Structure 1
Amino acid sequence: MTTAVDAVFRPIAAGRVHRWGGARLIVAPARELRRVPPLSPAERRVLGALPAWRQAEWTAGRLLAKRLVGEVVSAPADGVEILPRDDGSPRVLVGGRPVPAPHVSISHTAGYVAAALAPEPVGVDLCAFASADAVRRVADHFLSPEELTLVGGERPAALAGAWALKEAAVKADRSGVFGAAPRGIPILGLRPPVLGGRRRAMVWRADDAALALVLAHPGG
Protein backbone atom coordinates (compact mmCIF):
# COMPACT_ATOMS: atom_id res chain seq x y z
CA MET A 1 0.00 0.00 0.00
CA THR A 2 1.41 3.39 -0.99
CA THR A 3 1.30 6.23 1.52
CA ALA A 4 1.89 9.95 1.26
CA VAL A 5 5.51 10.97 1.51
CA ASP A 6 7.51 14.06 2.26
CA ALA A 7 8.49 15.30 -1.18
CA VAL A 8 11.68 17.17 -0.33
CA PHE A 9 13.87 16.33 -3.30
CA ARG A 10 17.62 16.45 -2.98
CA PRO A 11 19.30 19.35 -4.77
CA ILE A 12 21.25 18.95 -7.98
CA ALA A 13 24.28 21.06 -8.79
CA ALA A 14 23.82 23.34 -11.77
CA GLY A 15 26.24 23.71 -14.65
CA ARG A 16 27.90 20.29 -14.64
CA VAL A 17 27.09 16.95 -16.22
CA HIS A 18 25.55 14.35 -13.91
CA ARG A 19 25.23 10.64 -14.64
CA TRP A 20 22.30 8.56 -13.48
CA GLY A 21 21.13 5.15 -14.66
CA GLY A 22 23.20 5.35 -17.84
CA ALA A 23 21.88 8.82 -18.69
CA ARG A 24 23.69 12.14 -18.72
CA LEU A 25 21.91 15.17 -17.37
CA ILE A 26 22.72 18.86 -17.08
CA VAL A 27 20.71 21.79 -15.73
CA ALA A 28 21.77 25.42 -15.76
CA PRO A 29 20.31 28.86 -15.06
CA ALA A 30 18.88 30.33 -18.24
CA ARG A 31 20.70 33.62 -17.62
CA GLU A 32 24.05 31.81 -17.97
CA LEU A 33 23.23 30.36 -21.38
CA ARG A 34 23.55 33.41 -23.59
CA ARG A 35 26.05 31.89 -26.02
CA VAL A 36 24.63 30.59 -29.29
CA PRO A 37 25.86 27.08 -30.22
CA PRO A 38 26.90 26.24 -33.79
CA LEU A 39 23.61 25.93 -35.69
CA SER A 40 23.09 24.26 -39.04
CA PRO A 41 20.97 25.91 -41.75
CA ALA A 42 18.09 23.59 -40.81
CA GLU A 43 18.38 24.56 -37.14
CA ARG A 44 18.49 28.24 -38.04
CA ARG A 45 15.28 27.79 -40.03
CA VAL A 46 13.58 26.21 -37.01
CA LEU A 47 14.85 29.01 -34.78
CA GLY A 48 13.69 31.71 -37.17
CA ALA A 49 10.17 30.27 -37.27
CA LEU A 50 9.78 30.52 -33.50
CA PRO A 51 8.26 33.56 -31.77
CA ALA A 52 10.87 35.91 -30.36
CA TRP A 53 10.13 34.95 -26.74
CA ARG A 54 10.85 31.26 -27.52
CA GLN A 55 14.10 31.75 -29.38
CA ALA A 56 16.37 32.29 -26.37
CA GLU A 57 15.15 29.21 -24.48
CA TRP A 58 15.27 27.07 -27.65
CA THR A 59 18.87 28.12 -28.23
CA ALA A 60 19.81 27.50 -24.59
CA GLY A 61 18.35 24.02 -24.73
CA ARG A 62 20.36 23.16 -27.85
CA LEU A 63 23.50 24.53 -26.23
CA LEU A 64 23.16 22.07 -23.34
CA ALA A 65 22.03 19.16 -25.49
CA LYS A 66 24.93 19.60 -27.92
CA ARG A 67 27.33 19.66 -24.99
CA LEU A 68 26.02 16.23 -23.94
CA VAL A 69 26.05 14.83 -27.48
CA GLY A 70 29.62 16.02 -27.91
CA GLU A 71 30.69 13.81 -25.00
CA VAL A 72 29.51 10.60 -26.68
CA VAL A 73 29.59 11.24 -30.44
CA SER A 74 32.83 11.71 -32.31
CA ALA A 75 31.91 14.60 -34.58
CA PRO A 76 32.77 18.29 -34.89
CA ALA A 77 30.40 20.64 -33.10
CA ASP A 78 29.05 22.03 -36.37
CA GLY A 79 28.32 18.48 -37.57
CA VAL A 80 25.79 17.76 -34.83
CA GLU A 81 22.18 18.83 -35.30
CA ILE A 82 19.23 18.55 -32.93
CA LEU A 83 16.04 18.93 -34.93
CA PRO A 84 12.39 18.30 -34.09
CA ARG A 85 10.55 15.21 -35.27
CA ASP A 86 7.01 15.55 -36.57
CA ASP A 87 5.75 15.10 -33.00
CA GLY A 88 8.06 17.85 -31.75
CA SER A 89 10.48 15.59 -29.86
CA PRO A 90 14.18 16.24 -30.49
CA ARG A 91 16.35 13.89 -32.52
CA VAL A 92 20.09 13.85 -33.10
CA LEU A 93 21.62 14.03 -36.57
CA VAL A 94 25.32 13.70 -37.30
CA GLY A 95 26.60 14.76 -40.68
CA GLY A 96 23.01 15.31 -41.78
CA ARG A 97 21.96 11.73 -40.97
CA PRO A 98 19.67 10.70 -38.09
CA VAL A 99 21.31 8.43 -35.52
CA PRO A 100 19.18 5.92 -33.56
CA ALA A 101 21.09 6.65 -30.37
CA PRO A 102 21.72 8.62 -28.30
CA HIS A 103 18.28 9.90 -27.40
CA VAL A 104 17.91 13.45 -26.08
CA SER A 105 15.30 15.44 -24.19
CA ILE A 106 15.16 19.14 -23.31
CA SER A 107 13.09 21.19 -20.84
CA HIS A 108 12.78 24.81 -19.75
CA THR A 109 11.30 26.99 -17.05
CA ALA A 110 11.59 30.76 -16.84
CA GLY A 111 14.76 30.38 -14.77
CA TYR A 112 16.35 27.07 -15.76
CA VAL A 113 17.11 24.88 -18.76
CA ALA A 114 17.80 21.13 -18.63
CA ALA A 115 18.92 18.52 -21.14
CA ALA A 116 19.32 14.76 -20.88
CA LEU A 117 20.94 12.14 -23.09
CA ALA A 118 20.72 8.34 -22.87
CA PRO A 119 21.19 5.26 -25.06
CA GLU A 120 17.46 4.50 -24.58
CA PRO A 121 14.35 6.71 -24.78
CA VAL A 122 14.67 9.45 -22.17
CA GLY A 123 12.54 12.31 -20.92
CA VAL A 124 13.47 15.28 -18.77
CA ASP A 125 11.17 17.93 -17.35
CA LEU A 126 11.37 20.98 -15.11
CA CYS A 127 8.36 22.25 -13.17
CA ALA A 128 8.65 25.35 -10.99
CA PHE A 129 7.23 25.08 -7.50
CA ALA A 130 5.45 28.36 -8.23
CA SER A 131 3.40 26.47 -10.84
CA ALA A 132 1.78 24.30 -8.15
CA ASP A 133 -1.54 26.18 -8.32
CA ALA A 134 -1.77 25.61 -12.07
CA VAL A 135 -0.86 21.95 -11.62
CA ARG A 136 -3.49 21.60 -8.88
CA ARG A 137 -6.18 22.85 -11.25
CA VAL A 138 -5.50 20.03 -13.73
CA ALA A 139 -4.50 17.37 -11.22
CA ASP A 140 -7.69 15.37 -11.74
CA HIS A 141 -6.76 15.01 -15.40
CA PHE A 142 -3.30 13.49 -15.04
CA LEU A 143 -3.39 11.96 -11.52
CA SER A 144 -5.56 9.10 -10.35
CA PRO A 145 -7.28 9.26 -6.92
CA GLU A 146 -4.52 7.02 -5.54
CA GLU A 147 -1.84 9.31 -6.93
CA LEU A 148 -3.58 12.39 -5.52
CA THR A 149 -3.47 10.76 -2.10
CA LEU A 150 0.19 9.94 -2.57
CA VAL A 151 1.13 13.42 -3.71
CA GLY A 152 -0.99 15.41 -1.28
CA GLY A 153 -2.86 18.24 -2.94
CA GLU A 154 -1.51 21.08 -0.80
CA ARG A 155 2.24 20.53 -1.16
CA PRO A 156 3.78 22.61 -3.96
CA ALA A 157 6.98 20.57 -4.19
CA ALA A 158 5.08 17.29 -4.44
CA LEU A 159 2.69 18.63 -7.08
CA ALA A 160 5.56 20.02 -9.14
CA GLY A 161 7.44 16.74 -8.80
CA ALA A 162 4.39 14.71 -9.90
CA TRP A 163 3.85 16.91 -12.95
CA ALA A 164 7.55 16.75 -13.89
CA LEU A 165 7.51 12.94 -13.58
CA LYS A 166 4.47 12.56 -15.80
CA GLU A 167 5.77 15.06 -18.35
CA ALA A 168 9.21 13.41 -18.47
CA ALA A 169 7.57 9.99 -18.86
CA VAL A 170 5.37 11.00 -21.79
CA LYS A 171 8.34 12.72 -23.42
CA ALA A 172 10.28 9.45 -23.20
CA ASP A 173 7.27 7.68 -24.72
CA ARG A 174 6.88 10.46 -27.35
CA SER A 175 3.25 10.99 -26.35
CA GLY A 176 1.45 13.98 -24.84
CA VAL A 177 0.70 15.11 -21.31
CA PHE A 178 -2.76 16.41 -22.28
CA GLY A 179 -4.10 13.16 -23.71
CA ALA A 180 -4.85 9.85 -22.03
CA ALA A 181 -1.18 8.85 -21.80
CA PRO A 182 -0.40 10.32 -18.32
CA ARG A 183 -3.04 8.16 -16.63
CA GLY A 184 -1.38 5.09 -18.16
CA ILE A 185 1.90 5.83 -16.36
CA PRO A 186 1.13 5.39 -12.66
CA ILE A 187 3.24 7.04 -9.98
CA LEU A 188 3.76 4.35 -7.34
CA GLY A 189 6.17 6.35 -5.21
CA LEU A 190 7.49 9.88 -5.05
CA ARG A 191 10.54 9.71 -2.79
CA PRO A 192 12.20 7.82 -4.27
CA PRO A 193 10.12 8.07 -7.45
CA VAL A 194 8.70 4.80 -8.76
CA LEU A 195 6.73 4.59 -12.01
CA GLY A 196 4.74 1.74 -13.49
CA GLY A 197 6.03 -0.20 -16.47
CA ARG A 198 9.62 -0.68 -17.49
CA ARG A 199 10.68 2.80 -16.40
CA ARG A 200 13.25 4.20 -14.03
CA ALA A 201 12.90 7.70 -12.65
CA MET A 202 14.53 10.26 -10.40
CA VAL A 203 13.51 13.72 -9.18
CA TRP A 204 15.84 16.44 -7.93
CA ARG A 205 15.40 20.04 -6.81
CA ALA A 206 16.91 22.66 -9.12
CA ASP A 207 16.63 25.74 -6.92
CA ASP A 208 12.89 26.57 -7.11
CA ALA A 209 11.86 23.76 -9.48
CA ALA A 210 11.45 20.00 -9.58
CA LEU A 211 13.64 18.27 -12.17
CA ALA A 212 12.53 14.79 -13.28
CA LEU A 213 14.40 12.27 -15.41
CA VAL A 214 12.68 9.16 -16.83
CA LEU A 215 14.21 6.27 -18.76
CA ALA A 216 11.45 4.54 -20.67
CA HIS A 217 12.90 1.10 -21.41
CA PRO A 218 15.99 0.61 -19.26
CA GLY A 219 18.03 -2.47 -19.99
CA GLY A 220 18.36 -5.21 -17.41
Structure 2
Amino acid sequence: MTARSRTSLRERTGREQLTQIAYLDTTSPAANLLAARHGTTEDQRFADQHRHPTGQRQRLMVRVLLRALLARHYPVPAEPWKILRADDGAPYLEMGRPGLPAPFISLSHSGDLVACAIGSAAVGIDVERIRPDRPVTALAGTAFGPLETAAVEAAGSDGFYRIWTLREALAKATGAGFGMLMNRTDLVPPTPDAPAPHQDVQGRAWNFAYWRLPEGYGLGLVRLASPAGDAIVSPLGLHDLTEESESTNFPPSEN
Protein backbone atom coordinates (compact mmCIF):
# COMPACT_ATOMS: atom_id res chain seq x y z
CA MET A 1 0.00 0.00 0.00
CA THR A 2 1.51 3.33 -1.03
CA ALA A 3 -1.25 5.75 -0.09
CA ARG A 4 -4.11 5.80 2.35
CA SER A 5 -7.79 6.56 2.05
CA ARG A 6 -8.88 10.10 2.82
CA THR A 7 -12.18 8.97 4.33
CA SER A 8 -12.47 9.83 7.99
CA LEU A 9 -12.35 7.35 10.82
CA ARG A 10 -15.90 8.38 11.72
CA GLU A 11 -17.09 7.46 8.24
CA ARG A 12 -15.42 4.08 8.54
CA THR A 13 -16.45 3.26 12.13
CA GLY A 14 -19.48 5.44 12.85
CA ARG A 15 -17.91 6.75 16.05
CA GLU A 16 -16.65 10.14 17.13
CA GLN A 17 -12.95 10.70 17.66
CA LEU A 18 -11.00 13.55 19.21
CA THR A 19 -7.79 14.94 17.75
CA GLN A 20 -5.11 13.93 20.26
CA ILE A 21 -1.66 15.55 20.47
CA ALA A 22 1.44 14.66 22.48
CA TYR A 23 5.02 15.83 22.68
CA LEU A 24 8.08 14.45 24.42
CA ASP A 25 11.46 15.73 25.53
CA THR A 26 13.76 13.01 24.24
CA THR A 27 16.37 13.78 26.93
CA SER A 28 13.94 13.23 29.82
CA PRO A 29 13.89 10.11 32.03
CA ALA A 30 10.38 9.35 30.75
CA ALA A 31 11.72 8.95 27.20
CA ASN A 32 13.65 5.79 28.03
CA LEU A 33 10.69 4.48 30.03
CA LEU A 34 8.38 4.95 27.06
CA ALA A 35 10.92 3.42 24.67
CA ALA A 36 11.17 0.31 26.82
CA ARG A 37 7.40 0.06 27.13
CA HIS A 38 6.30 0.86 23.55
CA GLY A 39 9.27 0.65 21.19
CA THR A 40 9.60 -2.19 18.69
CA THR A 41 12.48 -3.74 16.81
CA GLU A 42 11.04 -2.27 13.61
CA ASP A 43 11.15 1.21 15.18
CA GLN A 44 14.82 0.69 16.06
CA ARG A 45 15.63 -0.56 12.54
CA PHE A 46 13.96 2.50 11.04
CA ALA A 47 15.87 4.81 13.39
CA ASP A 48 19.20 3.16 12.62
CA GLN A 49 18.85 4.11 8.94
CA HIS A 50 19.77 7.69 9.88
CA ARG A 51 23.51 8.34 9.82
CA HIS A 52 23.65 10.66 12.86
CA PRO A 53 22.89 9.72 16.51
CA THR A 54 20.65 12.77 16.99
CA GLY A 55 18.55 11.83 13.99
CA GLN A 56 18.39 8.22 15.14
CA ARG A 57 17.10 9.35 18.54
CA GLN A 58 14.46 11.60 16.97
CA ARG A 59 13.30 8.88 14.57
CA LEU A 60 12.99 6.31 17.33
CA MET A 61 11.31 8.51 19.92
CA VAL A 62 8.70 10.04 17.62
CA ARG A 63 7.50 6.51 16.78
CA VAL A 64 7.60 5.51 20.44
CA LEU A 65 5.56 8.60 21.31
CA LEU A 66 3.00 7.73 18.64
CA ARG A 67 2.64 4.20 19.99
CA ALA A 68 2.24 5.53 23.53
CA LEU A 69 -0.51 7.91 22.40
CA LEU A 70 -2.26 5.16 20.45
CA ALA A 71 -2.13 2.88 23.49
CA ARG A 72 -3.94 5.54 25.54
CA HIS A 73 -6.81 6.03 23.12
CA TYR A 74 -7.37 2.80 21.18
CA PRO A 75 -8.50 -0.50 22.75
CA VAL A 76 -5.82 -2.54 20.97
CA PRO A 77 -2.19 -3.32 21.90
CA ALA A 78 0.42 -0.93 20.52
CA GLU A 79 2.36 -3.76 18.86
CA PRO A 80 -0.06 -4.50 15.97
CA TRP A 81 0.16 -0.97 14.57
CA LYS A 82 2.34 -0.79 11.49
CA ILE A 83 3.87 2.65 10.91
CA LEU A 84 4.35 2.92 7.15
CA ARG A 85 5.35 5.63 4.71
CA ALA A 86 3.55 6.68 1.54
CA ASP A 87 5.40 7.44 -1.70
CA ASP A 88 5.68 11.10 -0.65
CA GLY A 89 7.22 10.11 2.69
CA ALA A 90 4.13 10.88 4.78
CA PRO A 91 3.57 8.39 7.63
CA TYR A 92 0.38 6.39 7.95
CA LEU A 93 -0.88 3.48 10.02
CA GLU A 94 -2.08 0.00 9.30
CA MET A 95 -3.32 -2.57 11.76
CA GLY A 96 -1.60 -5.93 11.96
CA ARG A 97 -5.01 -7.52 11.52
CA PRO A 98 -6.65 -6.62 8.17
CA GLY A 99 -9.95 -4.79 8.09
CA LEU A 100 -9.54 -2.71 11.25
CA PRO A 101 -9.60 1.07 10.67
CA ALA A 102 -6.63 3.22 11.59
CA PRO A 103 -6.58 6.91 12.56
CA PHE A 104 -4.82 9.60 10.60
CA ILE A 105 -1.43 10.55 12.04
CA SER A 106 1.25 13.22 11.75
CA LEU A 107 4.79 13.32 13.21
CA SER A 108 7.34 16.07 13.81
CA HIS A 109 10.63 16.70 15.61
CA SER A 110 12.93 19.63 16.34
CA GLY A 111 15.90 19.75 18.67
CA ASP A 112 15.15 17.62 21.73
CA LEU A 113 11.37 17.53 21.18
CA VAL A 114 9.26 15.11 19.17
CA ALA A 115 5.52 15.51 18.62
CA CYS A 116 2.66 13.55 17.11
CA ALA A 117 -1.06 13.83 16.46
CA ILE A 118 -3.79 11.28 15.80
CA GLY A 119 -7.31 12.04 14.62
CA SER A 120 -10.41 11.00 12.76
CA ALA A 121 -9.51 12.93 9.59
CA ALA A 122 -6.47 14.44 7.86
CA VAL A 123 -4.15 16.10 10.37
CA GLY A 124 -0.75 17.80 10.32
CA ILE A 125 1.57 18.77 13.16
CA ASP A 126 4.83 20.74 13.35
CA VAL A 127 7.09 21.54 16.29
CA GLU A 128 9.91 24.06 16.03
CA ARG A 129 12.53 25.22 18.50
CA ILE A 130 12.15 28.98 18.90
CA ARG A 131 15.37 30.85 18.12
CA PRO A 132 14.94 34.59 18.78
CA ASP A 133 18.10 35.41 16.82
CA ARG A 134 16.76 34.20 13.46
CA PRO A 135 16.12 36.84 10.76
CA VAL A 136 12.41 36.10 10.84
CA THR A 137 11.25 39.04 8.71
CA ALA A 138 13.59 38.09 5.88
CA LEU A 139 12.58 34.44 6.13
CA ALA A 140 8.89 35.35 6.09
CA GLY A 141 9.41 37.42 2.96
CA THR A 142 10.76 34.41 1.08
CA ALA A 143 7.97 32.00 2.06
CA PHE A 144 4.88 33.69 3.51
CA GLY A 145 2.00 35.58 1.95
CA PRO A 146 1.78 39.40 2.31
CA LEU A 147 -0.62 39.38 5.29
CA GLU A 148 1.44 36.74 7.06
CA THR A 149 4.67 38.67 6.40
CA ALA A 150 3.13 41.86 7.78
CA ALA A 151 2.11 39.91 10.90
CA VAL A 152 5.72 38.80 11.40
CA GLU A 153 6.94 42.39 10.96
CA ALA A 154 4.54 43.41 13.74
CA ALA A 155 4.96 40.47 16.13
CA GLY A 156 8.53 39.33 15.49
CA SER A 157 9.56 35.76 16.31
CA ASP A 158 6.28 34.98 18.10
CA GLY A 159 4.36 35.68 14.91
CA PHE A 160 6.88 33.92 12.71
CA TYR A 161 6.88 30.61 14.59
CA ARG A 162 3.11 30.55 14.90
CA ILE A 163 2.69 31.06 11.14
CA TRP A 164 5.59 28.79 10.16
CA THR A 165 4.41 25.83 12.25
CA LEU A 166 0.83 26.23 11.01
CA ARG A 167 1.94 26.44 7.38
CA GLU A 168 4.07 23.32 7.72
CA ALA A 169 1.27 21.50 9.55
CA LEU A 170 -1.14 22.51 6.75
CA ALA A 171 1.29 21.26 4.09
CA LYS A 172 1.41 17.90 5.88
CA ALA A 173 -2.35 17.66 6.42
CA THR A 174 -3.18 18.43 2.80
CA GLY A 175 -0.36 16.30 1.40
CA ALA A 176 0.86 19.31 -0.62
CA GLY A 177 4.36 19.17 0.84
CA PHE A 178 7.21 21.68 0.66
CA GLY A 179 5.80 23.58 -2.31
CA MET A 180 2.86 24.82 -0.25
CA LEU A 181 5.12 25.77 2.65
CA MET A 182 7.14 28.17 0.49
CA ASN A 183 4.52 29.44 -1.99
CA ARG A 184 4.34 33.06 -0.67
CA THR A 185 0.54 32.85 -0.47
CA ASP A 186 -1.49 33.66 2.64
CA LEU A 187 -2.71 30.33 3.98
CA VAL A 188 -3.16 30.59 7.74
CA PRO A 189 -4.65 33.20 10.09
CA PRO A 190 -2.06 36.03 10.14
CA THR A 191 -2.89 36.88 13.77
CA PRO A 192 -4.28 34.69 16.58
CA ASP A 193 -7.66 36.44 16.53
CA ALA A 194 -8.06 36.65 12.74
CA PRO A 195 -10.70 34.65 10.89
CA ALA A 196 -9.12 31.59 9.31
CA PRO A 197 -9.02 31.68 5.48
CA HIS A 198 -9.44 27.92 5.56
CA GLN A 199 -12.20 27.62 2.97
CA ASP A 200 -9.73 28.56 0.22
CA VAL A 201 -7.18 25.83 0.97
CA GLN A 202 -7.79 23.08 -1.57
CA GLY A 203 -11.49 23.91 -1.37
CA ARG A 204 -11.82 22.41 2.11
CA ALA A 205 -12.22 23.83 5.61
CA TRP A 206 -9.41 23.44 8.15
CA ASN A 207 -9.04 24.06 11.88
CA PHE A 208 -5.86 25.76 13.18
CA ALA A 209 -4.36 25.60 16.69
CA TYR A 210 -1.04 26.81 18.07
CA TRP A 211 0.71 26.50 21.43
CA ARG A 212 3.85 28.13 22.80
CA LEU A 213 5.37 25.35 24.88
CA PRO A 214 7.27 26.19 28.08
CA GLU A 215 10.30 24.26 26.80
CA GLY A 216 10.94 27.05 24.28
CA TYR A 217 9.21 25.49 21.27
CA GLY A 218 6.21 26.37 19.12
CA LEU A 219 3.67 23.67 18.24
CA GLY A 220 1.21 24.06 15.37
CA LEU A 221 -1.64 21.74 14.43
CA VAL A 222 -4.00 21.76 11.43
CA ARG A 223 -6.78 19.29 10.87
CA LEU A 224 -9.64 18.88 8.43
CA ALA A 225 -12.61 20.66 9.95
CA SER A 226 -15.18 18.38 11.50
CA PRO A 227 -18.88 19.00 10.76
CA ALA A 228 -19.62 17.46 14.16
CA GLY A 229 -17.24 19.87 15.87
CA ASP A 230 -14.86 17.29 17.34
CA ALA A 231 -12.55 18.89 19.87
CA ILE A 232 -8.80 19.39 19.48
CA VAL A 233 -7.40 18.18 22.80
CA SER A 234 -4.56 20.31 24.17
CA PRO A 235 -1.06 18.79 23.97
CA LEU A 236 0.01 16.12 26.41
CA GLY A 237 3.59 16.62 27.59
CA LEU A 238 4.59 12.99 27.98
CA HIS A 239 8.08 13.84 29.22
CA ASP A 240 6.31 14.53 32.55
CA LEU A 241 4.87 11.01 32.56
CA THR A 242 5.12 8.90 35.70
CA GLU A 243 3.76 5.46 36.41
CA GLU A 244 0.47 6.82 37.74
CA SER A 245 0.11 10.40 36.57
CA GLU A 246 -1.00 11.86 33.28
CA SER A 247 1.03 14.91 32.29
CA THR A 248 0.78 18.62 31.77
CA ASN A 249 -2.03 19.87 29.55
CA PHE A 250 -1.92 23.36 28.07
CA PRO A 251 -5.01 25.38 27.13
CA PRO A 252 -5.54 25.54 23.38
CA SER A 253 -4.95 28.64 21.31
CA GLU A 254 -7.17 27.95 18.30
CA ASN A 255 -8.12 29.86 15.14
Alignment TM-score, normalising by the size of structure 2: 0.68
Q: What's the CA shift string for 1:116-165, capped at 9, x where partnerless? A: 11100101111222076265443223211122112326611111111001
Q: How many residues were matched structurally?
A: 199
- What's the counterpart of residue 156 of structure 1? 157
Report the alpha carbon displacement of residue 206 of structure 1 after superposing the two structures with TM.
1.1
Q: Does 1:214 align with 2:212?
A: no
Tell me, yes or no, if the aligned pair for 2:206 and 2:224 is still in contact at 8 Å.
yes
Distance in 2 between the 1:131 and 1:119 partners? 35
Q: What's the CA shift string for 1:170-211, capped at 9, x where partnerless? A: 111122234577545622343146342201011101121111
- What's the counterpart of residue 47 of structure 1? 47
Q: Give me the identity figure in percent.
A: 22
Distance in 2 between the 1:126 and 1:98 partners? 32
Report the alpha carbon displacement of residue 166 of structure 1 after superposing the two structures with TM.
0.2
Moved over 6 A (4+): none
Report the alpha carbon displacement of residue 64 of structure 1 after superposing the two structures with TM.
1.3
Tell me, yes or no, if the aligned pair for 2:46 and 2:59 is still in contact at 8 Å.
no
Distance in 1 between the 2:158 and 2:131 partners? 9
Q: Does 1:204 align with 2:204?
A: no
Q: Which runs of 5+ in 1 are unaligned?
A: 1-20
DSSP-derived class of the 1:127 partner: strand
- What's the counterpart of residue 25 of structure 2? 29
- What's the counterpart of residue 3 of structure 2? none
Please tell me the root mean square deviation across aligned C-alpha atoms, in Å.
2.7
Alignment-mate amino acid for residue 227 of structure 2:
G
Pair 1:60–1:45, CA change in 2 (3 A)? closer
Which of the two has higher C-alpha Rg? 2
Show the 5 A alignment for 1:64-213. Answer: 64-95=65-96, 97=98, 101-130=102-131, 133=134, 135-152=136-153, 155-179=156-180, 182-183=183-184, 186-192=187-193, 194-197=196-199, 198-207=205-214, 208-213=216-221
Pair 1:78–1:169, CA change in 2 (3 A)? same
Distance in 2 between the 1:149 and 1:81 partners? 43
Higher strand share: 1
Distance in 2 between the 1:205 and 1:47 partners? 28
Q: Which runs of 5+ in 2 are unaligned?
A: 1-16, 200-204, 229-255
DSSP-derived class of the 1:77 partner: coil
Alignment TM-score, normalising by the size of structure 1: 0.78
